[in-house]
Structure 1
Amino acid sequence: MTDLAELYSIADNTLHDVDKDVRGRWATPITWRQPVHTLYMPADKFFTAAETLSEYTEYARQQAAMAIQEATGEQNLEAGLVEVAARVELPPATAPLAAHKLQTQPIEDIRIDLEDGFTQRAVSEGDRDADEDHYAQRAAEALAAWVEDKDPHAPSFAGIRFKSFDPLTRQRGVRTLFIVLKHLHATGTLEKLDERALRLTFPKVQSHHQVTALVRILQSLEQQWGLTRPIPFEVQVEAPQAILGANGDAEPVKIITAAQGRCLSLHYGTYDYSASLGVDAAYQSMEHPVADYAKDMLQVATTSVGVELSDGSTNRIPVGDTESVMTAWQLHTRLVNRHLARGIRQGWDLHPAQLVTRHLTTIAYFRDQWKHSAERLRDYVAGDESRWMDEPATAKAMSSYLRRAFQAGAITEEELAAYNLSLPLLEALQLTGRLSQK
């Protein structure tokens, strides 16, 4: 009769290398707070409106409130949001929560853009380097002030987007990145930052070798400055080569691997990606089939490896007459709800007025099913199988959903407590789906 110990040994020896992945890089779900959006602002436009992130937050809040007032005629923010919710076919009950969000933290994540949005159209060719140096320094100063400010209404996440490592823009991208990081280090704020708070967006990546180059640059700076913590970054996927490599490999996996644990997020770039595949401008969209294919690949690559995923943006901006604004808000509502339903928890916004439907839609999405999830999770915790027989994987998914709902401002701790649930319990369940045995 075969000894069980021998069978155990066969299985363990065969799966030794796979076990490292199962317990390691395949076992890191997103349990931390991920921003629901990223607001991208060209550096020159940002500093035309404000000098600091806190000032820009107030500017964006005012712009959003003004858009609501002009589109609805309502002076009161909450009353205006009730009208907007009705026009975009969302429950009016979301309005008070969205109003609170706009008043307390309208921007969760902001990126001062020194890449495509920073066009320098009015700057002569010979003056553009000096101009970008100027704005890179101002961005660095704004980020340093943000760390020291501790304003509870300011974004929880912030950073820059620097130019790509394509041959024509590589040196400019490195130079801008260096200016920002050097100032943050010199002021001591780089070391004070939460490891996920600073967001450095690396655009137009086509090959994992470009990521390797960035890692080596950061390693060099860390060594020179005596930093003990790696500087992380996020990668923007805007080219088909970043989805399917020339040799047929899944390039997103190689990009994440090349980042050596530094990759915070993969961001889908709607328009560069669509255009590179020959999609005509009128049909470029977050919901085009080529976009869905790319995001499917990114979603598979980021699942359970501790890397966030963000959808792209819509360039249909809610400005102009009431009909134009409402049409843009209706489109934005549909697109935000669509990527949330696909399991993509973040997207881009390009204008403060998009914050209106960003928060209305996100809150409505999570309010829609939160009680159902809370009831099932309460029964799962209690061991009650009279209505549902849920497994640990489902418990993990429901815990993740409820935590995201709380983080987005859609539910409160008091509402969770009514179902015998707490944030620490949800975090524990999200990791394993199992209750700890004492």
Structure 2
Amino acid sequence: MRTMDGSFLAVLTNRLAEVDSARARRYPGDSGGRQPVHTCYVPADQATEDLPARWGAQALAAFDEHAPDPAAMAAIIGVPAALAPTVYDRVRAKLEHEPVEDLRVDFEDGYGIRDAATEDADALAAARLIRGWGLAGVGIRMKSFDTMELTHRAVDTLDLVLTELGTPPPGFVVTFPKVTGPEQVTALVELLDLFESRLGMPEGSLRFEIQIETTQAVIDHKGRFAIPRLIGAGAGRVSGLHFGTYDYTAACGLSAADQHLAHPACDFARNAMQVGAAGTGVRLSDGSSNVLPVGDNVRHGWLTHYELVRRSLSRGFFQGWDLHPAQLVSRYCAVFTHHLETAEADGARLAAYVSRTGGSVLDEPATAAALATSLTRGIDCGALTEAEVAGFCGLSPESLTALAQRRL
């Protein structure tokens, strides 16, 4: 027998409906589409028309010299011997056909402070290059809003780039470094509103990623968790959070020898990024390794980078920074090995979930979505083929997308 008063229940459900609606706006989930496995940062004065192809050629040259066959690659980088032939062939194909997935022309630390005329010229040149590269992901890292002088220079550079571009290409994004509070994010949002109005761009089309490289971007001066406030201040324009390894570890007071991605201080910041961005649709990118595979350091640089990328992948960071062409080798070796090691088991679990036949693991819808997302990531970057994934799970790319979005 029902004893609940109908008017009370109506008030209760209406109140909860408002809460649910606000949560849905705040946590819309991932928008879908491909996420690059890396972002390459190149100082603006080193950017050239042939940059993506040149990075690929330099990576291939290092590959040929130091890892001329699958066995050598396995011995140097750490790829499991059983997977080495497949990884070797697919990394080589990647370097030949799509060496760079995402690229930022850097006007910040990698570029430094130049006179106004020089940076003006480099900003205009960068816009022309961005238009011509035809990359799926591209943009600039502007200077920070740390001081009045830097802010003025950041605004001038962004103005020149956007004005010269006219209409930015799809996938264009601005990297906003050294953010210390939501007020800076709000200022950038207002600036982008102004640019869109002045240049006739669709409202909300200019997006940016926040670099988490200050301690204040993690815990603010009042002891509050800062990242949700930064994302909220972005008013829907924030596309990603990118970790800044060396500024952050230096800010934590670590000595130079301890400033690396595997330090527990970095894990704390990344965990904060992960929890703070969860469900918002804001994607995560890990930072860089400054141990470069050059000169006599190629093998050590590759192994260090490979292990750090594998570590990031296992912690849910599917994108990271690359600073040198030879790092493309260890990046793709790590990413491809990760997907090839997990794809068959993931596919079997997904097939069991979809067919409701059970198995040794009882998966929930959220886990099925994660499995589908992982397999899709593998296809997107070239680690897996559609035919392989279909053989593992019996699903088409369209069905994988539907599962990832929990529509199936």
The answer as to 2:372 corresponding to 1:408 is no
Greater CA drift, 381-390 or 208-217: 381-390
Question: What is the rounded CA distance, in whole Å, between the counterparts of 2:106 and 2:359 in structure 1?
Answer: 53
Residue 157 of structure 2 is matched in structure 1 by 176
The answer as to 2:121 corresponding to 1:134 is yes
Superposed, 1:5-404 pairs within 5 Å as 5=6, 8-29=9-30, 31-46=32-47, 50=48, 52=49, 55-72=50-67, 74=68, 79=69, 82-91=71-80, 92=84, 93-119=86-112, 128-147=115-134, 155-167=135-147, 168-185=149-166, 189-190=167-168, 193-194=169-170, 197-230=171-204, 231-321=206-296, 324-404=297-377
Amino acid at match of 1:236: Q
Residue 151 of structure 1 is matched in structure 2 by none
| Residues 250 and 221 (structure 1), Cα distance of their counterparts in 2 relative to 1, 3 Å cut | same
| Residues 386 and 311 (structure 1), Cα distance of their counterparts in 2 relative to 1, 3 Å cut | closer
Amino acid at match of 1:227: M
Question: What is the rounded CA distance, in whole Å, between the counterparts of 1:208 and 1:299 in structure 2?
Answer: 18
Greater CA drift, 419-428 or 364-373: 419-428
Question: What is the rounded CA distance, in whole Å, between the counterparts of 2:9 and 2:79 in structure 1?
Answer: 55
Q: CA deviation at 1:250?
A: 1.5
Question: What is the rounded CA distance, in whole Å, between the counterparts of 1:428 and 1:206 in structure 2?
Answer: 38
8 Å contact kept, 2:57–2:95: no
1:179-229 CA distance string (max 9 Å, x none)? 0001111xxx32xx32xx102111111011101000101111212223223
Q: CA deviation at 1:382?
A: 1.3
Residue 152 of structure 1 is matched in structure 2 by none
Q: CA deviation at 1:30?
A: 5.3
Question: What is the rounded CA distance, in whole Å, between the counterparts of 1:269 and 1:388 in structure 2?
Answer: 37
8 Å contact kept, 1:30–1:304: no
Question: What is the rounded CA distance, in whole Å, between the counterparts of 1:309 and 1:272 in structure 2?
Answer: 18
Greater CA drift, 289-298 or 83-92: 83-92
Question: What is the rounded CA distance, in whole Å, between the counterparts of 1:104 and 1:314 in structure 2?
Answer: 24
Structure 2 residue ranges without an equivalent (≥5): none
8 Å contact kept, 2:349–2:359: no
8 Å contact kept, 1:236–1:269: yes
Question: What is the rounded CA distance, in whole Å, between the counterparts of 1:34 and 1:4 in structure 2?
Answer: 50
8 Å contact kept, 1:163–1:172: yes
1:47-71 CA distance string (max 9 Å, x none)? xxx3x2xx11111111111212332
Question: What is the rounded CA distance, in whole Å, between the counterparts of 1:7 and 1:372 in structure 2?
Answer: 50
Question: What is the rounded CA distance, in whole Å, between the counterparts of 2:337 and 2:110 in structure 1?
Answer: 30
Greater CA drift, 297-306 or 385-394: 385-394
Amino acid at match of 2:201: L
Q: CA deviation at 1:427?
A: 1.0
| Residues 5 and 82 (structure 1), Cα distance of their counterparts in 2 relative to 1, 3 Å cut | farther
Q: CA deviation at 1:380?
A: 1.2
8 Å contact kept, 1:208–1:254: yes
8 Å contact kept, 2:137–2:172: yes
Structure 1 residue ranges without an equivalent (≥5): 148-154
Amino acid at match of 1:314: S
8 Å contact kept, 1:143–1:159: yes
| Residues 387 and 7 (structure 1), Cα distance of their counterparts in 2 relative to 1, 3 Å cut | farther
| Residues 243 and 386 (structure 1), Cα distance of their counterparts in 2 relative to 1, 3 Å cut | closer
Question: What is the rounded CA distance, in whole Å, between the counterparts of 1:288 and 1:9 in structure 2?
Answer: 52
8 Å contact kept, 2:163–2:199: no
> Superposition RMSD on alpha carbons, in Å?
1.7
Question: What is the rounded CA distance, in whole Å, between the counterparts of 2:310 and 2:122 in structure 1?
Answer: 35
Question: What is the rounded CA distance, in whole Å, between the counterparts of 1:342 and 1:243 in structure 2?
Answer: 18
Q: CA deviation at 1:86?
A: 2.7
Q: CA deviation at 1:176?
A: 0.4
Q: CA deviation at 1:387?
A: 3.9
TM-score (norm: length of structure 2): 0.94
Aligned residues: 400
TM-score (norm: length of structure 1): 0.88
Q: CA deviation at 1:119?
A: 2.9
Question: What is the rounded CA distance, in whole Å, between the counterparts of 1:23 and 1:114 in structure 2?
Answer: 36
Question: What is the rounded CA distance, in whole Å, between the counterparts of 2:129 and 2:291 in structure 1?
Answer: 28
